[in-house]
């Protein structure tokens, strides 16, 4: 199965947090690469378990994925990410 995902990596103190917004999964690590690796491992383990329970297709549908030629494509896509400084009264 092929699946298109977004991986966001955030720094939180001395840790890095990797998130996949389409699937609502997150993991952490002491480095950027470790956090990303851990996230991909979490996704793999969860998908294996959902596949065994025959709930994976339902989960992906709930997350907004549509299957096209053995590839799952999200119905939404991040097209921009910007940081802004904002003053509040």
Mean per-residue pLDDT, 16-33: 97
User: 66 or 16, which is more confident?
Assistant: 16
Average pLDDT score, the chain = 93
Q: Report the share of the chain in percent with pLDDT over 90.
A: 73
In the chain, where the domains are located: 2-74
Give tens-digit pLDDT for 37-50.
Answer: 999 999 999 999 99
Computed on alpha carbons and rounded to an integer, the radius of gyration of the chain in Å comes to 15
For domain 2-74, the question of CATH label 3.30.160 is answered with yes
Strand order in the sheet with 15-20: 8-12, 15-20, 25-29
What predicted TM-score, i.e. pTM, was given to this entire model?
0.84
């Amino acid at each position: 199965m092929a699946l298109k995902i977004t991986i966001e990596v955030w720094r939180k103190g001395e840790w890095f947090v990797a998130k996949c917004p389409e699937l609502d999964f997150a993991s952490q690590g002491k480095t950027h690469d470790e956090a990303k690796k851990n996230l991909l491992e979490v996704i793999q383990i969860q998908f294996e378990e959902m596949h065994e329970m025959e709930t994976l297709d339902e989960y992906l549908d709930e997350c907004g994925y549509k299957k096209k030629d053995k590839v799952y494509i999200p119905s939404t896509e991040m097209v921009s990410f910007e940081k802004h400084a904002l003053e509040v009264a």
